[in-house]
Structure 1
Amino acid sequence: MRLLSAASCDEAEHLKEFSSWVASIGDDVLGGSNDGEVTIVLPSNIVLSNSGDPLKTIVSKIYPGYMNHEELSDCLHDRAILAPTLEIVDEVNQFMMSLDQSEGCLYLCSDSIANSDSTSGGLAELHSVEFLNNLKCSSTPNHELLLKVGTPVMLLRNIDRSNGLCNGTRLLITRLGDYVLEAQVLVGHDVGHKVLIHRMSLIPSDPRLPFKFQGRQFPLVVSYAMTINKIQGQSLAHVGLFLRKPVFSYGQLYVAISRVTSRAGLKILVCKHEDDDSRGDSTVNVVYKEVFQNL
């Protein structure tokens, strides 16, 4: 699909080469024969050198106007930082929010145990409100949601599919209210269209939780940075892959690097630990060959 949009033969050749490299990671061709985890060496022109502060390094490369709020708002629609875990994503988003000195609004979630068969028998009394407030799940917003005008956010639920308001849609906050938020669509056919977002009762779908709880909150999460799983299905001009920790599940690395539309728009920062003997231009790829059997 990317080759079809090439403007010249030279560009098509570069895109074909990049596409082959992306496919080789998805098919576990790089790094030798290994069924599972294998270490691969990344091309030098997409690897960022760690200058001592990896967070500022990745942010300054993907969001070059991050110190200028007006300049930053103009490029949010085609840029994002990706990371394997929620903890790293939250770290990047909090850093970006701290740079914006404008007044914001803090929205708190109303958490409670959901009524279901699994939470019967007095289980609701065992979990305090404070305990529920500290739970973090990928399918629900955090208990505290700090938003400012100009903050990029991502929808966590399907609200209006006919108007492009689906799970994963990126928006830009344009007005803050007590009960309703106004936002502008950043992606898709409805770019620039303004929509209203209200609070919803959200129940996490995390199978690791032994009980069901619900929270009433805006179905949004700040999206300067996102987990690799949440970016599936989208294409961006500039993607920064922040590997403070290596990928840990099948196909994560392939999904991350295949979100960008050209090699020039992809930058990867691999953080090495003191007890890690690996190179700064290598990382782990997780692919299980049995998935390709009988295809």
Structure 2
Amino acid sequence: MFVNENSDPKRLLGRAILAPTLDVVNTVNEYMSALHTAESRSYFSSNAVCKADDDNGIIGDVHTPEFLNSIRFSGLPNHTLTLKIGSPVMLMRNIDHSLCLCNGTRLVITKLADHVIEVEIMTGSNKGTKVLIPRMSMSPSDPKLAFKFQRMQFPLMLSYAMTINKSQGQTLSHVGLILKKSVFVHGQLYVAASRVNNLDGLKILIVKDSSSTTTSTTNVVYHEVFNNL
């Protein structure tokens, strides 16, 4: 549906697989990238505990480079970023509003260099413009993380698949919605289904277990939000 050897990379930006959770998104992106036969390159991040949180080096000694490399958070690029020419990617930081290079912008990779990545903007008024993406220093904002660290990496993630929350604002021609678990936030199912501009382009896969044949899923609606309407 999304990738084969003769796929036009530009067609991929009108298509996406959506899922409620990041672990499913990562699995799908890795699978889809493996199907894409093109020049590839792996980039590795540099990670360090923020000095403000490093109590005389104690935290730095406890949180080894291997541990920091293993951390995955929504909104933070992975330690290992394997990219291919023609792959769709999503920008994870605001870089240049005048070019619409904002968090959530989808792009296509055109060149892979040592210190920059060339991409083509595929949506908006600057569609077709090629720009260079540098490495950036980023810190996760998740309050569940008990310490702060910085990751130096390209602010990109593969975008064959994305979380439902990350898809807000996107308009797509084909959407594949994978529900290994039910949605867990009010309005999340509506957001996913409304990304597609043509009902025929929406496919939903509900996976409860290997023997399941269910064709329904649980929606989440907090009726309290309607009390003041």
Which of 211, 215, 220 does residue 281 from structure 1 map onto? 215
Name 1:112's counterpart in structure 2. Answer: 48
- Deviation readout 1:205-263 (Å, 9 max, x if unpaired): 11110111110000000000001111111111111101122212222111111111121
| Unaligned 5+ runs, structure 2 | none
In the alignment, which of 181, 192, 196 is matched to residue 260 of structure 1?
A: 196
Deviation at 1:115, TM superposition (A): 2.5
Q: Which of 106, 119, 125 is residue 189 of structure 1 equivalent to?
A: 125
In structure 2, the residue matched to 1:291 is 225
Name 1:228's counterpart in structure 2: 164
Structure with more of its chain in helix, by fraction: 1
Structure 2: distance between partners of 1:151 and 1:254: 27
Structure 1 residue aligned with 2:72 = 136
Paired residue type of 2:164: I
1:95 aligns with 2:16: no
Identical-pair percentage? 53
Is 2:1 the partner of 1:67?
no
2:13 is the counterpart of 1:77: yes
Q: Deviations over 1:264-283 (max 9, x none)?
A: 1111011131586xx52101
Query: Any idea what SS the aligned residue of 1:230 has?
Result: helix
Q: Superposed, which structure 2 residues align to 1:214-225 within 5 Å?
A: 214-225=150-161
Structure 1 CA distance, aligned partners of 2:69 and 2:20? 23
Q: Unpaired segments of 5 or more residues in structure 1?
A: 1-59
Which digits, 9 at most, give the CA deviation of each residue in 1:146-183, with x for residues without a partner? 01110110000000011100000001000010001100
More displaced, 222-231 or 90-99?
Answer: 90-99
Partner of 2:184: 248
- Contact 2:10/2:122 (<8 A) preserved: no
Contact 2:38 2:86 (C-alpha < 8 Å) held by counterparts: no
Q: Which residue of 2 aligns with 1:208?
A: 144
String of CA shifts for 1:78-103, please: whole Å, max 9, x gaps.
11110111111111111111112333
245-254 vs 215-224, greater mean Cα deviation: 245-254
Tell me the matched-pair count. 228
Give the TM-score normalised by the residue count of structure 2: 0.94
2:81 to 138, 141, 145: 145
TM-score, length-normalised on structure 1?
A: 0.74
